[in-house]
């Protein structure tokens, strides 16, 4: 069976891709963001997912107003980087996973999500910038990617609730897949930003930080927000945050936060990255107390507690029991 | 969602200051303008637009007002006439202008002032949620 092992939320500001492409990651403007990324890159490298389901929106690149699919899934073997007006980014093309993509398509449609099927779809910065954020500048991306493209430009985009439910359907599909695959899922875009109009440049840090906290602990708040709240509070382009709900829906109700970076501003946007793993199954206090030290340490780390076999077992045990509310 | 709730939502969008939610009406109004912008994704079209902007624009079904707004790079006007920022920004890419340049033009400040505003945390949401806040 395939398994979802990681969830990512990540902004996809095009200037971040450009900074990487043009060797500007260590100039003063970009340092605060790029200097934070090695920990996220190590995290994903250690997990080594086989496939990354990457949820993003197209920005007038593969789709125009001529055709506006609400949810489109890329089932191709390869996806080329789009020319968004600058010429194509000189980065590797994206390799797909047609077998899993078609399996997800079949499963989701039969379960009530009528995905649009894309056999040819150039991918733009929405897809490629998160790859840059997590993998830097490799000769080839170290993971196969299933791009899922969501309309958030033409009103109405799908609701946050609908996105969350699609995430659940995707998870079910992944778990019904017969091959052994480790799958990560990323919801991208956001955080607060507005590119258009007299209100352009609006940033709402309080909203963003609450969104990140709630995403981890209390996501019903994010899932049940209306389009109006997203647009008014997070800016007209902040509506992209509905796409993070697809990731969240695919994860366990309880997750452990492994990485977070929030930075204002990247170009016109509040840049957010967050990494989750599914929280382990909850054990009783008695079961935990009976654990041998290496098992206890592993369990503690899965709960997000930094523990090591060289630590005193008593201390680790205390931290675990306290984390789960047993003491 | 009830019919009333849908209508209420639309009304509420109109109350957000300085924001052009890309509604179906907006999309219909700006269709030709946005399709022109989309064409600039192709290098050969960018070259043709560069040679004679006016002649190239005549290949699309823009209104006279839309055409003028493009030629004069009236970024806010383009939005008012149905443009969508992801589309109209293709013209800025063609001009080698940044999003901060366009953001400044749309909000009446210079590119440097816009950059400075972003570096100091962006435009505050306080006072910018509702047009009613402008009236106080």
Q: Does domain A3-278 have CATH number 3.30.460.80?
A: no
pTM recorded for the entire structure: 0.94
**Is the same domain home to B43 and B90?**
yes
Angle at which helices B85-94 and B43-51 pack, to 10 degrees?
Answer: 70
- Tokens for A140? 């080839």
DSSP element (H, E) containing A231:
helix A227-234
DSSP element (H, E) containing A43:
helix A37-47
**Is the same domain home to B66 and B131?**
no
**Is the same domain home to B44 and B63?**
yes
- Tokens for A43? 């995290």
B9 in a structural domain? no
Minimum distance, in Å, between the CA of residue A237 and any CA atom of chain B? 10
Residue pair A104/A173 in contact by the 8 Å Cβ criterion: yes
Domain count, chain B: 2
Task: Print the domain residue range for B133.
Answer: 98-136
Q: How far apart are CA A81 and CA A94, in angstroms?
A: 8
**Interface touch B125/A204, C-beta < 8 Å:** yes
Taking only the tens of pLDDT, chain A with its 327 residues reads: 899 999 999 999 999 999 999 999 998 899 999 999 999 999 999 999 999 999 999 999 999 999 999 999 999 999 999 999 888 999 999 999 999 999 999 999 999 999 999 999 999 999 999 999 999 999 999 999 999 999 999 999 999 999 999 999 999 999 999 999 999 999 999 999 999 999 999 999 999 999 999 999 999 999 999 999 999 999 999 999 999 999 999 999 999 999 999 999 999 999 999 999 999 888 889 999 999 999 999 899 888 888 898 899 999 999 999 988 887
**Is the same domain home to B48 and B104?**
no
**Is the same domain home to B86 and B68?**
yes
B31 in a structural domain? yes
Please state the domain extents for chain A. Answer: 3-278, 285-323
- Tokens for B116? 């400075």
Q: How far apart are CA A188 and CA A111, in angstroms?
A: 24
**Is the same domain home to B89 and B25?**
yes
- Tokens for A36? 């934070």
Q: How far apart are CA B95 and CA B89, in angstroms?
A: 10
Q: How far apart are CA A58 and CA A37, in angstroms?
A: 24
A-contacting residues in B 59-88 (Cβ below 8 Å): 76, 79, 84-87
**Is the same domain home to B31 and B92?**
yes
B44 in a structural domain? yes
**Interface touch B27/A60, C-beta < 8 Å:** no
CATH of the domain at B34: 1.10.700.10
ipTM of the complex: 0.96
**Is the same domain home to B82 and B49?**
yes
Residue pair A270/A258 in contact by the 8 Å Cβ criterion: no
Q: How many angstroms separate the Cα of A238 from the Cα of each of A124, A130, A207, B25?
A: 18, 17, 10, 21
Q: How far apart are CA A232 and CA A123, in angstroms?
A: 28
Residue pair A314/A266 in contact by the 8 Å Cβ criterion: no
B123 Cβ contact partners less than 8 Å away, ≥ 6 residues apart: A194, A199, A200, A201, A202, A203, B107, B117
pLDDT at B135 over 90: no
Residue B136's pLDDT is what?
Answer: 56
B15 in a structural domain? no
**Is the same domain home to B51 and B105?**
no
**Is the same domain home to B117 and B79?**
no
Interface of A with B (CB under 8 A): 15, 59-61, 64-66, 82-87, 153-155, 192, 194-207, 226-228, 231-233, 236-237, 264-265, 267-268, 270
Active-site pick, A125, A227, A263, A308: A125
Distance of CA B122 to the CA centre of its chain: 19
A73 Cβ contact partners less than 8 Å away, ≥ 6 residues apart: A101, A104, A105, A108, A115, A116, A117, A118, A146, A147, A148, A149
Q: How far apart are CA B35 and CA B40, in angstroms?
A: 9
Phi–psi pair at A94, nearest 5 degrees: -100, 125
**Is the same domain home to B104 and B93?**
no
A193 is catalytic: yes
Q: How many angstroms separate the Cα of A97 from the Cα of each of A1, A53, A79?
A: 16, 10, 11
Q: Return mean pLDDT, chain B.
A: 96
Q: Identify from B122, B129, B132 which residue to disrupt to test chain A contact, counting A C-beta atoms within 10 A and taking the largest count.
A: B122
Three-state SS at B82? coil
Residue A304's pLDDT is what?
Answer: 84
**Is the same domain home to B73 and B110?**
no
């Amino acid at each position: 069976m395939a398994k979802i092992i990681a969830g990512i939320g990540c902004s996809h500001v095009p200037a971040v891709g450009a900074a990487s492409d043009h060797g500007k990651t260590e100039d003063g403007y970009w340092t605060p963001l790029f200097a934070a990324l090695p920990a996220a890159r190590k995290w994903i490298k250690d997990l080594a997912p086989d496939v990354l389901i990457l949820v993003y929106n197209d920005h007038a690149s593969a789709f125009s107003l001529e055709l506006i699919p609400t949810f489109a899934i890329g089932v191709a073997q390869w996806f080329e980087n789009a020319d968004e007006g600058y010429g194509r980014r000189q980065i590797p093309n994206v390799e797909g996973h047609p077998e899993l993509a078609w399996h997800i398509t079949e499963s989701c449609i039969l379960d009530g999500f009528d995905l649009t099927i894309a056999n040819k779809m150039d991918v733009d910065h929405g897809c490629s910038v998160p790859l840059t954020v997590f993998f830097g500048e490799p000769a080839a991306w170290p993971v196969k990617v299933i791009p899922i493209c969501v309309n958030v430009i033409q009103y109405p985009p799908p609701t946050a609730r609908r996105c969350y439910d699609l995430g659940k359907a995707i998870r079910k599909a992944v778990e019904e897949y017969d091959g052994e695959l480790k799958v990560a899922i990323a919801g991208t875009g956001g955080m607060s930003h507005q590119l258009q109009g007299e209100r352009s440049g609006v940033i709402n840090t309080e909203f963003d930080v609450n969104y990140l906290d709630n995403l981890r602990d209390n996501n019903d708040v994010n899932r049940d927000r209306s389009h109006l709240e997203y647009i008014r509070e997070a800016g007209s382009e902040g509506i992209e945050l509905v796409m993070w709900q697809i990731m969240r829906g695919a994860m366990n109700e309880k997750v452990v936060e492994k990485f977070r970076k929030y930075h204002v501003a990247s170009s016109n946007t509040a840049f957010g990255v967050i990494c989750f793993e599914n929280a382990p199954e909850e054990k009783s206090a008695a079961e935990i107390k009976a654990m041998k030290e290496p098992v206890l340490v592993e369990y503690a780390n899965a709960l997000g507690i930094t523990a090591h076999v060289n630590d005193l077992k008593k201390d680790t045990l205390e931290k675990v029991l306290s984390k789960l509310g047993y003491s | 969602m009830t019919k009333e709730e849908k209508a209420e939502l639309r009304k509420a969008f109109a109350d957000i200051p300085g924001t052009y939610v890309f509604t179906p009406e907006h999309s219909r109004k700006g269709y030709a303008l946005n399709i022109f912008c989309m064409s600039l994704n192709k290098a050969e079209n960018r070259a043709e637009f560069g040679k004679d902007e006016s002649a190239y624009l005549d290949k699309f079904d823009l209104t006279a007002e839309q055409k003028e707004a493009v030629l004069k790079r009236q970024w806010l006007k383009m939005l008012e006439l149905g443009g969508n920022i992801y589309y109209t920004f293709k013209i800025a890419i063609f001009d080698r202008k940044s999003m901060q340049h366009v953001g400044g033009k749309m909000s009446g400040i210079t590119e440097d002032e816009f950059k400075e505003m972003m570096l100091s945390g962006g435009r505050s949401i306080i006072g910018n949620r509702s047009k009613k806040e402008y009236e106080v």
